[in-house]
Structure 1
Amino acid sequence: YTVPGQVYYNASRKLILKGVDGVVFVADSQLERMEANIESMQNLYDNVAEYGYDLTKVPFAIQYNKRDLPNAAPVKDLQASLNPGWQVTEPEKQQVQPDAGWPGEFLTWQVPTGEWIQRAPAHEAVAVTGAGVFETLKTVSKLVLKSLG
């Protein structure tokens, strides 16, 4: 299922999230949409929590859409604002995991304080041409299958 990102569609988003197997958050890469993206991401975390889920434990990927536009924010800024990561407390998950989509970056890593951090896999996309869309779907599908098996 898909739902619009605007905050005033919150009731629709909540209904769709009930019983979700996986989530893809599609962010609008335009600089002027950054605040709206942040608000929508927080809204997603809140809505998932209302159903007793933890978004850090649900198959979850992020797609940075509209990468072809001249006013697209740098991916590093999008990652810092929308996908900074969360603490990993399970010892079996505390191992460095390179991010295949971003050479030199990590999905799981240890910070100097000793804390382990993990972030959602993210893909750049241009939905109107289809670029990056299948890659995002493939990523979240693999995560869903892994969570079921």
Structure 2
Amino acid sequence: MALINVKTKEVQVKIVYYGPGRGGKTTNLEYINKTYRDRIKTEMVSLKTQDDRTLFFDFLPFDVGQIKGFDVTIQLYTVPGQVKYNATRRLVLRGVDGIVFVADVQKEQRKKNIESLNQLYENLETYNLDLFNIPFVMQYNKIDLKQSAIPIVSSQTLQKDLNGLLRAPAFEATALRGGNVIPTLKKIISITLASIQDQLF
């Protein structure tokens, strides 16, 4: 649920990038941070774990300005991908308004993508949230690997594995080079803002 301050006429919206370890969540945020440096209000904060990272920063969204007279700030988070950090993942999801699921297209990661998505369902249940009722975007990352010798899963298969029931907007992406990082972000922002408009007076 978006944090709405009626006194200051401000709204804080929380978007979480979720997915398996080393799938590209951090890379998405780093690219956004670099590209929209002028719109970001704070330094990117990195809470380091041994082999992964959780990131968080504030920034002003694209072409939104105000909604019903309220200034809107978007907060972007990633969760640590490793299963052993599930308690942290659950904590990061508290108060979430929108989710981007970053799947890794490498064939060897297929099972981990499915496990991570199933765990997302479970973690949301902790807060009585249903993924079918939350603004959600799917991203199939590392699509550029098809030009190398690394075996990848096709987007059609990923759609079947991960998005058959949800039918969320989906993007093929190359987060390292910025491919479809911004369209993914713009999509989740637009559908999340549309979903919270009714909460504003």
TM-score > 0.5 by shorter chain: yes
Equivalent residue number for residue 123 of structure 1: 171
Q: Name the amino acid aligned to 2:164.
A: P
Aligned length: 117
Equivalent residue number for residue 112 of structure 2: 36
Equivalent residue number for residue 183 of structure 2: 135
Equivalent residue number for residue 101 of structure 2: 25
Whether the 8 Å contact between 1:26 and 1:65 is mirrored in structure 2 is yes
Deviation of 1:18 (Å): 0.5
Q: Is structure 2 residue 114 aligned with structure 1 residue 68?
A: no
Equivalent residue number for residue 164 of structure 2: 84
Q: Name the amino acid aligned to 1:125.
A: A
Whether the 8 Å contact between 1:3 and 1:13 is mirrored in structure 2 is yes
2:162 and 2:125 map into 1 onto residues whose CA distance is 17
Whether the 8 Å contact between 1:62 and 1:120 is mirrored in structure 2 is yes
CA RMSD between the two structures: 0.9
Larger radius of gyration: 2
Identical-residue share of aligned pairs (%):
51
Equivalent residue number for residue 58 of structure 1: 134
Q: Name the amino acid aligned to 2:134.
A: V
2:80 and 2:176 map into 1 onto residues whose CA distance is 16
Whether the 8 Å contact between 1:6 and 1:40 is mirrored in structure 2 is no
Deviation of 1:142 (Å): 0.7
Deviation of 1:21 (Å): 0.7
Unaligned runs of 5+ in 1: 87-118
Extract structure 1 runs of 4+ deviating beyond 3 A.
Answer: none
1:5 and 1:141 map into 2 onto residues whose CA distance is 22
Deviation of 1:72 (Å): 2.0
Deviation of 1:4 (Å): 2.4
Deviation of 1:9 (Å): 1.8
Deviation of 1:23 (Å): 0.5
- Indicate the SS of the match to 2:78: coil
Equivalent residue number for residue 64 of structure 2: none
Structure (1 or 2) with the greater strand fraction: 2
1:49 and 1:122 map into 2 onto residues whose CA distance is 23
